[in-house]
Chain A
């Protein structure tokens, strides 16, 4: 096929795509107009039904909790798959790199980077924990909180301390925490079944004050488990990748 023919095929296909796209756009509801009844209904009843003022979390962890279990396991499977693909194979050996040989200077992380990374490590961990534990009260939740928590660990690495990063988050422990987080979510749902209720039905006392940290029953509990799972999954993923980068360096030294 000549380049000219190829260009023609692209132009025809592109024009078709644009036509379909524009046709689709004309069928969309007007900007800012939400035509579905579901959102309006949820907004009216959510706070009274769940005692959670973080209505997005109420939707995620209660009204459509079953969908969220599925999403949870997408991340779980991705992290597990990564651990499998990047595992140390029999042929791969960790050899000391040249820059680890005695008497050699290793280029140090710059003072500014270390300083900033260390400054932000504490706030990142506190912020992550706060987000994961306030899903029922404000815009936050286990997912966001978990990722921010994991960021705290990555900052430790940025401060130039791979060994400290590894000591803080040994792979075995991270694996277990991730599994506990994922299993906790499922177990919360199953507990409701054992109590004779539908799967993931909120079976805990809802609390008296909407938006209090102790309110909303299983929404807060599930957010906590999701936070554990997500933080561990991301620490695992970044840890595996760092391991790989260092491993390759070892092999080629």
Chain B
């Protein structure tokens, strides 16, 4: 039984799914480039957080809700917090 043959009231047409997947893939690629191109560390953390959210959306669109939840909490919340705290400590030492 292939995934495509399953029909529920919530089934999204395959063509629409393809468009959605390509769109989100492009957005993730753009956000990743944005993270690399941002030179100022504190701003980079914020962009990284946005990238985390987009990656979570990507996993959702590719039908992996479990991974979405993990990525949303780790990539968009915990990782930026830890990085910001580290930046705060390093900056204090430099001053």
Contacts and interface: CB of A to CB of B under 8 A. Distances in A.
Nearest to B88: A245
A140 B88 CA distance: 33
A238 B65 contact: no
Interface string B53-94: 000000000000110111001100110011001101100110
B69 A252 contact: no
B30 to A, nearest CB: 21
A248 interface: yes
A150 interface: yes
Interface residues of B, number: 18
B78 A151 contact: yes
A216 interface: no
Nearest to A44: B1
Interface residues of A, number: 23
Contacts of A147: 70, 73-74, 77-78
Given A154-B81, A238-B82, A245 B66 contact: no
Contact of A252 (B86, B88, B95): B95
Contacts of B65: 139
A31 B34 CA distance: 26
A150 B66 contact: no
A57 B70 CA distance: 13
Interface string B29-68: 0000000000000000000000000000000000001101
A245 B74 contact: no
A247 B78 CA distance: 21
B86 A241 contact: yes
A237 interface: yes
Interface of B: 65-66, 68-70, 73-74, 77-78, 81-82, 85-86, 88-89, 92-93, 95
11 contacts: A56-B66, A141-B69, A144-B73, A238-B81, A238-B82, A241-B86, A245-B92, A248-B89, A248-B92, A248-B93, A252-B92
